[in-house]
C-alpha cells in the first residue's frame, strides 16, 4: 500500500514538473496569446468598485514585506505553543519567492500592458509565473497540511483556518487576473510551481514524523 502511494505521488510530481516545463515553453514561444487575452477580458468584464477593493485585499498578503511579516507572526505563534518544527517550516515557505524570482528572470515575460487589459495594479517584476499564486499555494497549503495533521490543535481552530486557507488559494488566481497584474497562464504556472514547492516542503515536514510519502 505504501509503495503504491509512493508511486502515485512520484508520478504526480513528475507530471507537475513536466507540465510546468511545457507551459513555460509555451509562454516563451507565445508571450501574448489569444487564450490569455480572452480570459482577462472575461474576468475584467465584471469589474465594480467593491470587487476592486476585495481583489486588492486578497492580493495584499502576497507582497514581499507583508508575506515576510505574516510568516514571522505565524512562526512566533507556533513557537509560543511549542510547535518548533511548524515554526521553521512556516518560514521556509518564503523560499517560494526565491524560486519564482529565478523563474521570472529565466522566462522574462512582460506584464500585461494597458493597451490590452485594464491594469488596476501596476507591478515591476516579470510576469511568469505569478509569485502571489505560487506563494499562496505554498504558504496556505502548508498551513492546511499542519491543520490536517496536527490533531492536538483544537478542531474549532483547525477547521476555520483550513477553510480560510483554501479560500485564499482559490481566489488569488482570479485576483491577479482581475487586477491586470497577470495572464491566465501566469497564474496557472504559479499554481503548478506552488504545488511542486509544496510537495517538496510537505515531504520534508512529514518525513521525520513517520508520515513521509
Q: Indicate left, alpha or beta for 111 from its phi (over 0: left) and psi (-120 to 50: alpha).
A: beta
94-118 mean pLDDT: 92
| Comparison of pLDDT for 128 and 208, the residue scoring more | 128
Q: Are 152 and 83 in contact (CB under 8 A)?
A: no
Average pLDDT, the chain: 91
40-81 pLDDT tens trace = 999 998 888 899 999 999 999 999 889 999 999 999 999 999
Q: pLDDT confidence of 6, banded at 50, 70, 90? A: confident
Helix, strand, or coil here: 20?
helix
pLDDT band at 115 (very low <50, low <70, confident <90, very high): confident
Tell me which of 210 and 204 has the higher pLDDT. 204
Q: Give residue 201's pLDDT.
A: 95
Question: Model confidence over 144-192: pLDDT tens digits?
Answer: 999 999 999 999 999 999 999 999 999 999 999 999 999 999 999 999 9
Check residue 210 and give its pLDDT.
44
What integer is the mean pLDDT of 193-197? 97
Closest CA to 180 of 109, 114, 119: 119
C-alpha cell at 132: 502571489
What pLDDT is stored for residue 10 in this prediction? Answer: 84
C-alpha grid cell, residue 66: 507583508
Measured CA to CA, the distance from residue 85 to residue 106 in angstroms comes to 33
| Preceding amide of 129 cis, omega within 30 | yes
* pLDDT of residue 39 exceeding 70: yes
Cα–Cα distance for residue pair 133/59, rounded to 1 Å:
9
Amino acid at each position: 500500500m505504501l509503495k503504491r502511494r509512493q508511486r502515485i505521488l512520484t508520478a504526480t510530481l513528475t507530471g507537475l514538473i513536466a507540465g510546468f516545463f511545457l507551459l513555460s515553453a509555451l509562454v516563451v514561444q507565445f508571450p501574448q496569446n489569444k487564450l490569455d487575452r480572452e480570459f482577462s477580458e472575461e474576468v475584467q468584464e465584471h469589474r465594480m468598485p467593491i470587487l476592486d477593493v476585495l481583489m486588492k485585499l486578497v492580493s495584499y498578503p502576497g507582497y514581499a514585506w507583508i508575506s515576510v511579516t505574516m510568516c514571522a507572526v505565524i512562526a512566533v505563534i507556533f513557537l509560543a505553543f511549542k510547535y518548533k518544527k511548524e515554526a521553521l517550516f512556516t518560514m521556509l515557505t518564503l523560499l517560494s519567492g526565491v524560486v519564482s524570482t529565478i523563474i521570472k528572470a529565466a522566462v522574462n515575460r512582460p506584464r500585461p500592458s494597458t493597451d490590452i487589459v485594464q491594469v488596476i495594479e501596476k507591478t515591476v517584476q516579470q510576469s511568469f509565473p505569478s509569485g502571489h499564486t505560487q506563494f499562496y499555494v505554498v504558504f496556505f497549503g502548508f498551513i492546511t497540511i499542519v491543520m490536517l495533521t496536527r490533531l492536538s490543535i483544537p478542531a474549532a481552530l483547525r477547521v476555520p483556518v483550513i477553510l480560510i486557507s483554501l479560500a485564499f488559494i482559490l481566489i488569488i488566481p482570479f485576483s491577479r487576473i482581475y487586477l491586470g497584474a497577470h495572464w491566465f497562464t501566469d497564474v496557472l504556472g504559479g499554481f503548478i510551481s506552488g504545488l511542486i514547492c509544496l510537495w517538496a516542503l510537505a515531504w520534508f515536514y512529514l518525513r521525520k514524523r513517520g508520515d513521509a510519502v
